[in-house]
Copies of this chain bind each other. A is one copy, B any other.
Amino acid sequence: MKNYKLIIQYDGTRYRGWQRQKNTTNTIQEKFEVVLQKMCSMPVEIFASGRTDAGVHAAKQIANFICNTKYSCGEIKEYLNHYLPQDILVLSVEEVHKRFHSRLNAVSKTYAYTIATEKPNVFNRKYVFGAEKKPDIHKMRKAAEKLIGKHDFIGFSSVSKTKKSTERTIYSITITELENLLTIQINGSGFLYNMVRILCGTLLEIGTGERTEECIDTVFNEKNRASAGVTLPACGLKLIDVFYESIGHTEDINM
C-alpha cells in the first residue's frame, strides 16, 4: 500500500462542502472517492487538511489517500482529472511517507476572504462578496491586531457547545486592497465552524463603522456570538494554502 499526497483545487459553488455526508452525494470528498474506487477496484478513503463548508472554494487544498495501484503518480493525476467534474482539479500527485496525514500533520492553514467594494466584475462574481459600503481599511487592520495570538474563539464561531477545545491560534492577518477588491488573508493553527467568515464579517462591520473594535474584546470576554459581526457568505472564502510540520511548507513533507 502506498500513500499519495494530492494538491487539489476546486470551485465550491455547487457542492455541499468537502466532507462526505449521508443525505447527499454532492460533496467533493464523495466525488473523489467514487473515482478512486473505480481506479483501485476497492473502496478508498481520502483525507483533506480540513473540511471546507458548502460553497467555499480551494485554490490549494491538500489531501491524501492510501491504496494499492499499478498507476504512476502522473497517471493517477490524469485519471482523476479525466473522471472528476470540471470544477475540481488535481494539480499534483506524489508518493509520500506512510505516516503523512493531510489533516493530522497540518500545522497551519491560510484562508483568504475577498470583498468587492464596488459591484463585482462579472467574471469573478462567484468568488467574491459584494459589500454595500466601502470600509475603512485602516480601522480593519487595527482591529485585526486584537485577533492575533491564542484565544478561545467560540464567540466567533457557529459552534454552540462542545467538549473539545475551542482555543485556536491566529498567526497573521493581512488585509490588502487591489482596485475594488479587498482581501483578508488569515493564517492560523485551525478554524472553528464558520470562524473565518465571522471574523471577516466582524472586521468588515468595524471597517464600515457598524461596530467598534472594542466588540472583539467583548466577544473574547463574554464568549457571546451575538456580539460579533455577521457570517459573511461562503462564496467569498477560499482556502489558499496548508503548511506542514518539520520544515513547514507542504513541499517539504515528502519522503
B residues near A41, Cβ cutoff 8 Å: none
**20 A–B contacts from the bound complex (CB under 8 Å):** A9-B121, A9-B122, A9-B123, A10-B122, A11-B122, A11-B123, A11-B125, A57-B123, A59-B123, A81-B119, A86-B122, A86-B125, A87-B122, A87-B125, A88-B122, A89-B119, A89-B121, A89-B122, A123-B124, A123-B127
Q: How far is the CB of A127 from chain B (nearest CB, A)?
A: 6
Specify which chain B residues have a CB less than 8 angstroms from the CB of A125 in the assembled complex.
11, 86-87
CA–CA, A125 and B125, complex, Å? 14
Chain B nearest Cβ from A50, distance in angstroms: 19
Identical subunits present: 2
Q: How far does the alpha carbon of A89 sit from the alpha carbon of B119 in the complex, in Å? A: 8
In angstroms, Cα B124 to Cα A11, docked, is: 10
Q: From A8, which residue of chain B is reached at the shortest CB distance?
A: B122
Within A89-129, which residues are at the interface with B (CB < 8 Å)?
Answer: 89, 119, 121-125, 127
Chain B residue contacts of A119, Cβ below 8 A: 81, 89
- Measured CB to CB, the nearest residue on chain B to A125 is B86
The smallest C-beta distance from A189 to any residue of chain B, in angstroms, reads 27
A58: nearest chain-B partner, CB-CB = B122
The 7 A-B pairs of least Cβ separation, nearest first, read: A11-B122, A89-B122, A9-B122, A87-B122, A10-B122, A123-B127, A86-B125
